[in-house]
Amino acid sequence: MSKIDFIIPERKADIGNFAVGRLLPFREKRLVGPFIYMDHMGPADMSPDENLDVAPHPHIGLSTLTYLLEGSIMHRDSLGTEMEIKPGEVNWMTAGEGIVHSERTPSYLRSDQKVIHGLQIWIALPKDLETTTPDFFHAGKDDIPAWNDANVDYTLIAGEAFGKKSSVPVYSKLFLIQLTNKEKAYLELKNKLFGEVGIYILNGGLIYQDEHFNSNQMLVFENSELDKIEILPQSTIFILGGEPFPEGRKIYWNFVATEEKLIEEAAEKWRNRKFPPVPNDDGYIPLPESRFRIRK
């Protein structure tokens, strides 16, 4: 049965408006399946004078997945999309050859007390699709499979698992599942997952092979043949992963690619303001030149 290869703690990272807990990339484990980036946002209480304001910035070579537990975010992008996301919904933006987007507190909430809490995830695209045409997809809460089994509530946010398929249009074999429970429960995952597997404990805890693991850490397993897992009461966990790519990925700032050349071209394009603009949002995040180092 599968042992735990890595235990990844949440690490504080500043995204401008507030700190987040960064899980991926990790220095010893850059990807879990196609998942290359994962931040736990909040929970952050924001006063009437504070708002989420992530100004327009570019991406290439990936799809972004935003999933909220609390709060609301207004997404705008260079395709002309303007979509508010609320808890239990999914914003899925495919950058491909290049897209620009912003994330801000909706106008009707900007003068109110508010909370923001959720996950921001990047999923690398397969090599033959990393320069595909950009696209955006929104899934409402009712569009995402949800069910209860043995005292555990499941939500299949993206991908395929447990004989079910999410409506989110992914580009590779993957899964992202939310599990919540009120009472102690047991999870049998043998023959139900594939590829690489990570389990992120948002809150509560679990016991695996007689070891106790607490919230705010991700467990990465050596294979998908997991032993039985005991989930402690009042827990929320996320299971993510899928088939790994045959080649590695390079990452710099908001760019992901199989070749440095694609990242360098995107950086030069952003420096020269050659990416398409975001309608109704003229903000701009400059390229962080002082940190121009492509991680391999």
**DSSP secondary structure string, 153-173?**
EEEEEEEEETTEE-SS--SSS
Q: Tell me, what's the pLDDT at 93?
A: 98
Q: Tell me, what's the pLDDT at 190?
A: 86
Give the model's confidence band at 177: pLDDT under 50 very low, under 70 low, under 90 confident, else very high: very high
Q: Tell me, what's the pLDDT at 293?
A: 61
Lowest mean pLDDT among 3-17, 52-66, 174-188, 236-250: 3-17
Q: Tell me, what's the pLDDT at 296?
A: 54
- What's the whole-number average pLDDT of the chain? 95
Q: Tell me, what's the pLDDT at 13?
A: 80
Give the model's confidence band at 241: pLDDT under 50 very low, under 70 low, under 90 confident, else very high: very high
**pLDDT for residue 15 is more than 90:** no
**DSSP secondary structure string, 100-157?**
EEEEE--GGGTTS-EEEEEEEEEEEPPGGGTTPPPEEEEE-GGGS-EEEETTEEEEEE
Quote the tokens at residue 19. 């700190």
**247 and 202 in contact (C-beta within 8 Å)?**
no
**190 and 226 in contact (C-beta within 8 Å)?**
yes
Can you tell me whether residue 37 is helix, strand or coil?
Answer: strand
State phi, psi for 103 to the nearest 5 degrees: -135, 120
Q: Which tens digits make up the pLDDT trace of 254-271? A: 999 999 999 999 999 999
**At a CB cut-off of 8 Å and minimum separation 6, what does 286 contact?**
none
Q: Cα–Cα–Cα angle for 133, 144, 159, nearest 5°?
A: 55
- Regarding pTM above 0.85, the answer is yes
Give the model's confidence band at 187: pLDDT under 50 very low, under 70 low, under 90 confident, else very high: very high
16 or 244, higher pLDDT: 244
Give the model's confidence band at 19: pLDDT under 50 very low, under 70 low, under 90 confident, else very high: confident
Q: Which tens digits make up the pLDDT trace of 99-130? A: 999 999 999 999 999 999 999 999 999 999 99
Average pLDDT on 276-288 reads 96
Q: Which tens digits make up the pLDDT trace of 43-97? A: 999 999 999 999 999 999 999 999 999 999 999 999 999 999 999 999 999 999 9
Give the model's confidence band at 290: pLDDT under 50 very low, under 70 low, under 90 confident, else very high: low
For residues 75 and 101, give the distance between their C-alpha atoms in angstroms, rounded to a whole number.
Answer: 7
What Rg do the C-alpha atoms of the chain give, in angstroms? 19
